[in-house]
Structure 1
Amino acid sequence: MIQLTVNGVSHSLDIDPSTHLLYALREDLNLHGAKFGCGLGQCGACTVLVAGKPTFSCLMPVSALGKRPVRTIESLGTAERPGPLQKAFIEHQAAQCGYCIAGMIMRAQALLEANPHPTDAEIRKHMEPNLCRCGTHMRILAAIRAVSGTPAGTGKPATETVR
């Protein structure tokens, strides 16, 4: 029996300990936000937060989680009531096909929780492991900037004077 805490809820799953977290989320917990992209940890479509850190769930066996909590896109909001980051992605039309967006949002969420006002360079560096094949990277960056309050091309929050 594997014990997981996902989105604040404790679960006991009768699954093989080598099962990757992605499959436990999708098949056993019916959480379909994280997607299978490459299965190699190279695209980020499966990104979730494990103890606040962005993690490729396609590579993480559930036995390696220990007691660390997992958060998925479903913890941030719903279609009817999107969270701030989800809302910004919608407003900035950051999704074209949408396949990568849950992973992008979770990686961005981790960044903003650790650094509420990142510079453009910090956003780009943090988001680098996740790929968007549709090429909406500039809209994704704009959505993250909108939530952080950092205008494009600066490292200063919008509430500060930029000289």
Structure 2
Amino acid sequence: MGRRVIYPLYQYGNPQLRIFRTNFFMTLVRPGKEQQDDTGQFRIPIEMTKPDVKNYLQDIDSVPVAAVRTRIQYCTNKKRNHTNQKVKWPDYKVAYVQLAEGQTFNFPNIFPKKDQTAESGSLEEIQNKFLAEDKQKQKADPRRGGVTEWFGL
């Protein structure tokens, strides 16, 4: 069995060999309403302050920040569960980050739409491909041992 090593809080010498990571997580959110080109919206923990947001983006992510505006989103407790108890989603804070002058923010397009013209092949090839996939779906499962599909196991 290995020996457990406990590191001291402070190490002599320069530089220190530790990396300190933040306890906060910032989530980039697609805004519901149209915003200016230089503004991004983040969902952050309630404990996080405006200077924390600014330092996080400037020091860790190297994003030039001009201003930070925050608001707290109070969630409703009007929902009820199956035992008729009130259910409340947790509250969270929203930060609107305005980038420095000359910077613009575009929300990343994670799922780009595919062009219909870019699909290779003619209409017959597409139909044949569809029929082959359909035949594959209709094949009997060899693990069932010849038992029909309508008889559930």
User: How would you bin the TM-score normalised by the shorter chain?
Assistant: under 0.3
TM norm structure 1: 0.19
Greater per-residue strand proportion: 2
Greater per-residue helix proportion: 1
TM norm structure 2: 0.20
Q: Report the structure number with the largest CA radius of gyration.
A: 2
